[in-house]
Amino acid sequence: MYMFKYICKRISLMLVTFTIIFITCFILVKLLPVDVSSVGIGEDADKIIAQMVSRGYMKYDSGSGKYINTPILEQLGKYLKRMIFEGDFGIGFSMPEYRGRAVWSVFIEKLPPTILINVYSSLLAVPIGIVLGIFAALKKNKWQDHLISTLVMVFISVPAFVYASLVLYLLCFKLSALPLSVMSLPDIVKAYPEKGYLYVPGEFNWSLYFNKKMFLSMLPAVFSMSFGSIAGYARYTRAELTEVLTSEFMLLARTKGLTKAQATVHHALRNAMVPIFPSIIGEFVSVLSGSLIIEKIFQIPGVGGLYLAAINSTDYDFFMMLSGFYLLVGLLAGLVVDLSYGVIDPRIRMGAK
Amino acid sequence: MRAEEHQISSEKFVLHSKGGQLHDEKLETKPVSYFRDAMHRFARNKASIAAAVIIGILFLFAILGPVLTPYKVSDEDINYAYVLPRNELFYRMGIRFWDGGRRMGVTESSYSLYRGIEKETGRTVIMTEPEVRTEEYMGKPTSYYDFRLDTYNAVGVKFVLLRYEEYVALQQYQDENNIQVIFPITDPALRPEAEQDKTNANIWYRTKLGSGRKTTVVYDENGDFIPIYLADNGTDRYTSRMYWEGDEKLYSYAEQKDGNMWNVRVDYREYYRYIHYRAGDGIEYPSFLLGTNNAGKDLFTCLASGARFSFLLAIIVASVNLFVGAVYGAIEGYYGGKIDLMMERFVDILASIPFMIVITLLKYHFDVSHVLVLFIAFFLTGWTGMAARTRMQFYRFKNQEYVLVARTLGARDSRIMFKHIFPNAIGTLITGSVLVIPSVIFSETSLSYLGIINLNTGSLTSVGTLLATGQNFLFTYPHMILFPSIFISLLMLSFNLFGNGLRDAFNPSLRGTEE
């Protein structure tokens, strides 16, 4: 029962934190002037104002004869009401390609590539990283261990955009083995015209992402993302496993007649996984947020690119929604990691005094 | 047992060594302080020492680089854009590496252009003997010339528009230094017709419009170029030395444009030296150690300035974070209880705001200076880590006996905090601060790379901006992204190794485990 209570407590604490930050963000964003001048050529500033008025962000002030901002708390109330009861996160207004479109539908459309690339890279990185780590731990202080540790150090330190450039230059350009950028939905429809009917704007469009061309075009990004994670997992596994291998129960296991392999797999590895597994779970939660840099380099039509575009063109509704999303993912990842310790290792009693 | 049986009269007690003083035995060896021990153990870690040396070199590069080079970040010359890295030593020795040369595979017309430049300026443009190969291109066999191009000399001559006084001053400079800068002007009527070649000053020979509106060279019967210099018509007011040998003035050297302006055809290498000689900034002939970017900025200068800015920002951020975090953490840890709870919740909330949101909101609100925005953002999100480290150390040490003794003896809170407990936290704080430096540099690089923060304002640039620009020319001019990448990778790697070494050295529980 205490476990349930503890989880409830943690979730409610997380929600409080989320609400405070989200509302602070909203207020800080709304303190900024609405930049009507950012409207493109041939666009009507009045339309934007009409849109703002219809959403309750602006109102006509008969005194000065101008449109003025409504009080921020009133805006906040309307925003939260729409968000919670109608699932309406606002409408884009300063990015030309998303002007007038519902923020949520654009977001949903951009989600699959971001998730897929991260899932692929995790699927690649986790097994390789853990195997390398185990190998290094078993060969501790031999040349194999030194080689792996050196490589791990190099791969952890070098930033992802350097790998990305290397992958692009060597694999995609010099060898022409892989495409230069990730395909967008219209590209896929062009490549597979028979699947064209599946494409619905503003929807998830999952089915369009599982084909050979899409997969190949995602590979460079997947490779560039996984180098760092492989090194990270390898280092972590090696550190945990070497510690467990020297503990006394391992000696006991060997004394009672287990072979080294049996003792390692059944006793050492299980214990070493206790801190590693939660970090994998945390990684899987945070795959949603992706990597802004990788998305930029490979022109992935994902959430990261959308966020960058929203920031650079000061589209507040997009910015608010995506910020909330990133914030939630970050908080959730932390929470899941904490809670999973208790699930994986029954000896850890969460929240017990 | 009755009490009186144990009563012993005081006379029976005799002092063991009356008059003498009792001492502990003096230590034979010298005491090793915590820091000396840490330094000693650090010095035994070879990888960390190597990393420290590399960091030192990079730091020197950042500090001295901008001072040593005559260029400034704001200096740019579009005519020398995209030139490749050149090490003068290698170039003079004729080593075909890092000499500003570029492997080229070009068609006949481009090849003859380079040959023309070579013939007119008298400097080597085609560094190696060309190999000719024939390939199908759009159904027709086309010859390609493979050779190594001197990207500096390939600039050749340029048209520049000068005021009359400048024109005269340039002639004076020619006579004083005995250098030919001004080359005869070409006949406007005979210049190439193709749109893309009309303003190309390097075409000093007769051409015709070939197929596909491409300029093709017309050779004379010996296979030489036929000059199209404008014959002397007495209007160019040119009195300086002649390009063509002999006393006779055969050609015009400038054409008068509207008003006071003169269109002059100059040897750009000499002209470059001339303008810098006039500006007095100590720049001689062009030679860029790391090449130039698309705007013709010296990459060495840009990289060194970017590195200097990064280091400066990181060190300031690290020290401010250290100071604020240490004080905050000390108060939290020392007083504990309700104060700790309140302060800790504040830190919790602050620490869970994504960095991107902080930086974006700050950017929106303080549009004036992105440097300030960066600093505030790093400060807002960074000091909490330091506070947590200090707090933990305070919790560990505040109830130890020596602290209780100090309190019993009447020491003030601030004295106990900073004189007695704080030194215990110094080791972990130093390690933490050192590791803040690469993370700040990395974040700053990423942010300017993504274009969220724009540090590229006139006299300032950042490694991230260089990387982002280089990314656009990854396939054509990889040198633009190569050097910033090497810099940032080397920096991250050596800081990680250095930080690991420091952490191990300052960890007292590892003492003696290496032996």
Percentage with pLDDT > 90 across chain A: 16
Query: Quick check: B493 and A169 CB within 8 A?
Result: no
Query: Quick check: A327 and B352 CB within 8 A?
Result: yes
Interface test with A, best of B48, B364, B486 (most A CBs within 10 A): B364
Query: Whole-angstrom Cα distance, residue B305 to residue B313?
Result: 12
Q: What is the count of residue pairs from A and B with beta carbons less than 8 Å apart?
A: 91
Confidence (pLDDT) at B141: 83
Spell out the SS3 assignment of B24-57.
CCCCCCCCCCHHHHHHHHHHCCHHHHHHHHHHHH
Q: What is the pLDDT of residues B154-196, one digit of tens each?
A: 998 999 989 888 888 999 898 888 888 888 888 888 888 887 8
> Is the domain of B244 the same as that of B352?
no
| B425 contact partners, CB below 8 Å, separation of at least 6 | B326, B329, B389, B390, B393, B394
CB-based contact A276:A130 (threshold 8 Å): yes
Residue B245: pLDDT band by 50, 70, 90 thresholds? Answer: low
Q: What is the pLDDT of residues A265-321, one digit of tens each?
A: 888 888 888 888 888 888 777 766 668 888 888 888 888 889 988 888 878 888 899
3-state secondary structure of A67: strand
Domain end: B153, B182, B197, which one?
B153
B33, part of any domain: no
Put simply, whether A184 touches B (Cβ < 8 Å) is no
Shortest CA gap B292–chain A (Å) = 19
Tokens describing residue B282: 């100590």
Confidence (pLDDT) at B510: 67
> Is the domain of B336 the same as that of B477?
yes
Q: How many of the other CB atoms lie within 10 Å of CB of B340?
A: 17
Tokens describing residue B71: 């260029």
Q: Which residues of A touch B489 (CB under 8 A)?
A: 157-159, 162
Query: Quick check: A158 and B489 CB within 8 A?
Result: yes
CATH number at residue B442: 1.10.3720.10
Most confidently modeled range among A134-138, A200-204, B134-138: A134-138
| C-alpha dist (Å) from residue A70 to A54, A57, A264, B405 | 12, 6, 66, 62
Identity of the amino acid at A285: V
Query: Quick check: B365 and A307 CB within 8 A?
Result: no
* Between A254 and B234, residue with greater pLDDT: A254
Q: Which residues pair with B215 in a beta bridge?
A: B209
Q: Which residues of A touch B476 (CB under 8 A)?
A: none
Query: Quick check: A21 and B481 CB within 8 A?
Result: no
B309, part of any domain: yes
Q: How many residues does chain A have?
A: 353
Residue of B115, B245, B223, B238 lying closest to B185 (CA atoms): B238
Residue of B242, B19, B205 lying closest to B113 (CA atoms): B205
CB-based contact B453:B444 (threshold 8 Å): yes
Of B363, B485, B496, the CB nearest to A153: B496
pLDDT of B400 strictly over 90: no
Identity of the amino acid at A263: A
Confidence (pLDDT) at B194: 82
Q: Which residues of B touch A172 (CB under 8 A)?
A: none
Identity of the amino acid at A210: F
> Is the domain of B260 the same as that of B364?
no
Put simply, whether B357 touches A (Cβ < 8 Å) is yes
Interface of A with B in 135-164 (CB under 8 A): 153-154, 156-159, 161-162
> Is the domain of B505 the same as that of B374?
yes
Residue B488: pLDDT band by 50, 70, 90 thresholds? Answer: very high
The whole domain housing B438 covers: 47-66+298-510
Query: Quick check: B356 and A323 CB within 8 A?
Result: yes
Spell out the SS3 assignment of B360-398.
HHHHHHCCCCHHHHHHHHHHHHHHHHHHHHHHHHHHHHC
B418, part of any domain: yes
Shortest CA gap A199–chain B (Å) = 30
Interface test with A, best of B103, B344, B450, B489 (most A CBs within 10 A): B450
Split into its structural domains, chain B has a count of: 3
Confidence (pLDDT) at B246: 61
B235, part of any domain: yes
Q: What is the pLDDT of residues A113-131, one digit of tens each?
A: 888 888 899 999 999 999 9
Query: Whole-angstrom Cα distance, residue B97 to residue B289?
Result: 12
Query: Whole-angstrom Cα distance, residue B349 to residue A18?
Result: 9
B346, part of any domain: yes
Tokens describing residue A38: 């950012």
Tokens describing residue B473: 């020319």
> Is the domain of B59 the same as that of B101?
no
Query: Whole-angstrom Cα distance, residue B504 to residue B498?
Result: 10
Confidence (pLDDT) at B503: 85
For chain B, what is the mean pLDDT?
86
Q: How many of the other CB atoms lie within 10 Å of CB of B342?
A: 11
Query: Whole-angstrom Cα distance, residue A317 to residue A195?
Result: 33
Identity of the amino acid at A37: S
Alpha helices in B204-298 (DSSP H): 268-279
Q: Which residues pair with A108 in a beta bridge?
A: none
Q: Which residues of B touch A38 (CB under 8 A)?
A: none
pTM of the predicted protein model: 0.86
> Is the domain of B180 the same as that of B325?
no
Q: Is B33 left (phi over 0), alpha (psi -120 to 50) or beta?
A: beta
Lookup result for tokens 């971001």: A114
B99, part of any domain: yes
Query: Quick check: A17 and B442 CB within 8 A?
Result: no
CB-based contact B249:B226 (threshold 8 Å): no
> Is the domain of B364 the same as that of B449?
yes
The Cβ-side half-sphere exposure at A327, using a 13 Å CA radius, reads 25
Distance of CA B53 to the CA centre of its chain: 18
Lookup result for tokens 């953490």: B329
For chain A, what is the mean pLDDT?
84
Residue of B139, B148, B140, B159 lying closest to B203 (CA atoms): B159
Confidence (pLDDT) at B515: 44
Of A154, A169, A296, the CB nearest to B474: A169
pLDDT of B207 strictly over 60: yes
Shortest CA gap A328–chain B (Å) = 10
Put simply, whether A343 touches B (Cβ < 8 Å) is no
CB-based contact A137:A237 (threshold 8 Å): yes
Query: Whole-angstrom Cα distance, residue B132 to residue B124?
Result: 19
Domain end: B252, B279, B306, which one?
B279
Spell out the SS3 assignment of B474-492.
CCCCCHHHHHHHHHHHHHH
pLDDT of A89 strictly over 50: yes
Put simply, whether A296 touches B (Cβ < 8 Å) is yes
Query: Whole-angstrom Cα distance, residue A297 to residue A223?
Result: 13
Q: Which residues of B touch A297 (CB under 8 A)?
A: 471
Interface of B with A in 195-224 (CB under 8 A): none
Put simply, whether A334 touches B (Cβ < 8 Å) is yes
Report the residue of chain B nearest A314, measured CA to CA: B364
3-state secondary structure of B81: coil
Instruction: Give DSSP secondary structure letters for B443-486.
Output: HHHHHHHHTSS---STT---HHHHHHHHHHTTTT-THHHHHHHH
Longest dimension (CA), chain B: 141
Strands B101-107 and B131-137: what pairing? unpaired
Q: Is A178 exposed, middle or buried (0-12, 13-18, 19+ CB in 10 A)?
A: middle
For residue A10, the surrounding DSSP H or E stretch is: helix A2-30
Shortest CA gap B357–chain A (Å) = 6
> Is the domain of B147 the same as that of B164?
no
- CA dihedral for A217, A221, A227, A233, sign (positive or negative): negative
Q: Which residues of A touch B471 (CB under 8 A)?
A: 161, 165, 297
pLDDT of A351 strictly over 90: no
Put simply, whether B54 touches A (Cβ < 8 Å) is no
Lowest mean per-residue pLDDT among A188-197, A294-303, B358-367, B408-417: A188-197
> Is the domain of B198 the same as that of B308?
no
B29, part of any domain: no
> Is the domain of B391 the same as that of B500?
yes
Of A31, A153, A173, the CB nearest to B497: A153
B284, part of any domain: no
Interface of B with A in 419-478 (CB under 8 A): 442, 445-446, 449-452, 467, 471, 474-475, 478
Instruction: Report how many helices (DSSP H) and strands (DSSP E) chain B contains, helices first.
Output: 15, 9
> Is the domain of B336 the same as that of B392?
yes
A178-200: average pLDDT: 78
Residue of A40, A229, A43 lying closest to A152 (CA atoms): A229
> Is the domain of B146 the same as that of B165?
no
Of B348, B349, B485, the CB nearest to A165: B485
Q: What is the pLDDT of residues B41-60, one digit of tens each?
A: 888 888 889 999 999 999 99
The Cβ-side half-sphere exposure at B276, using a 13 Å CA radius, reads 18
Lookup result for tokens 């340029």: B158
DSSP3 helix / strand / coil % (chain B, rounded to 5): 55, 10, 35
Q: Which residues of B touch A327 (CB under 8 A)?
A: 352-354, 357
Domain end: B153, B182, B201, which one?
B153
Q: What is the pLDDT of residues A5-57, one digit of tens each?
A: 888 988 998 999 899 999 988 888 888 766 555 555 556 667 777 777 777 77
pLDDT of A244 strictly over 70: yes
Tokens describing residue B229: 């210099």
